[in-house]
Amino acid sequence: MIHKNSPIPIYYQLEEAIKKAIQNHRLLPGEMIPSERDYTEKYEISRMTVRQAISNLVNDGYLYRQRGIGTFVAHQKIEQPLQGLTSFSEDMQSRGHEPSTRVISLTEIKADSDLAAKLEVEAGTPIVELKRVRLADRLPMSFETVYLSKDLSRGMTEEMAQTSFYSYIEKTFGLKIQYGRQSIEASIAQKTEAEMLGIAEGSPVLLIERISRLDSKKPFEVAQSVYRADRYKLTIDMERSS
Ligand code: 16G
């Protein structure tokens, strides 16, 4: 409902009306919203006003435009607090999303000098490379490449790699995953990454690298993940030291 005599600007009222339609699931993520003309006619307001409301919602991340097609409802980003050492499966479950995995490859390779240094093994040591697309509610979130020391991937099959790797390590080997160090960088999707994530080449992504260690401090994985920047948001709680 738009109140023309209200002191609240009409574009703002329209923004609120569209946001409400998204919250009430009358407009669903991925769905095309009505055209500018539809809104103009429905509310008897100017096209300029409609355009302003839609542009604001695009800028705020509620909607996105596809050139030549229309404007769509964006998927709300999943918020990931940067605290604690958790797995993808745990992160998604704790936020009420259903995790799933598409295993792309599970191969044995030889550690190059960079990976060898990170895993604290000799260069040329056989290690396992596991590539997976991680999904939340069946939508691709990240394309993950994990390099693992060979002893900890003993007996791992593609079928097992479809489930939680962290719980595999903890349950199968009775080991304790304890420490991690993670870096996060902005980047754009390369061709393969874009294909895996179902986005256009050149779309914004977050590159996250994690080196995780057991309680013995032994590094057991180097994970290099490419996250869709339109689906993922990292949050940090801060406290000012006095
Ligand atoms: C997260 C971790 C990854 C780990 C995976 C295990 C990054 C940046 N972080 O995705 O290191 O291997 O969780 O998840 O990739 P899982 O136990 O659900 O397989």
C-alpha to C-alpha distances, 23 to 6, 9, 50, 75, 185, nearest whole angstrom: 23, 21, 19, 12, 31
Write down the pLDDT at residue 237: 92
Quote the tokens at residue 191: 């061709």
What CATH number should be reported for the domain whose range is 10-73? 1.10.10.10
Distance 30 CA to ligand 1 centre (A): 27
Is residue 103 very low, low, confident or very high in pLDDT (cuts 50, 70, 90)? very high
Over 90: is that where the pLDDT of 96 sits? Answer: no
Helix or strand run (H / E) with residue 55: helix 47-59
| Ligand 1 lining (C-beta closer than 6 Å) | 87-89, 144, 146, 164-167, 208, 210, 212, 221, 223, 225
For residue 10, give Cα distances in angstroms to 14, 89, 115, 147: 6, 43, 57, 54
The model's pTM is 0.80
pLDDT at 75 exceeding the cut of 90: no
Mean pLDDT score, 139-146: 96
Q: Tokens 């993520």 label which residue?
A: 29
Q: How confident is the model at residue 60 (pLDDT cuts 50, 70, 90)?
A: confident
168, with CB counted inside 10 A (0-12, 13-18, 19+), is middle
Write out pLDDT tens, residues 160-188: 999 999 999 999 889 999 999 999 999 99
Mutate to test the pocket of ligand 1, among 166, 171, 179, 196 (most ligand atoms within 8 A of CB): 166
Whole-number average pLDDT of the chain = 94
Q: What is the pLDDT of residue 228?
A: 95
The structural domains of the chain, with segments of one domain joined by +, span: 10-73, 78-235
Nearest Cα to Cα of residue 138 among 234, 54, 29: 29
Q: Is the dihedral of CA 231, 232, 233, 235 positive or negative?
A: positive
Least confident of 19-23, 83-87, 130-134, 153-157: 153-157
| 78-235 fold | Chorismate lyase (3.40.1410)
Name the band, by pLDDT with cuts 50, 70 and 90, for residue 89: very high
Summarize pLDDT for 182-234 with one digit per residue, the tens.
999 999 999 999 999 999 999 999 999 999 999 999 999 999 999 999 888 89
Measure 141 CA to ligand 1 centroid, in angstroms: 12
**What letter does residue 74 receive in the DSSP assignment?**
P
Residue 236 is predicted with a pLDDT of 93
Nearest CA owner, ligand 1 atom 11:
223
* pLDDT tens sequence across 7-51: 999 999 999 999 999 988 899 989 999 999 999 999 999 999 999
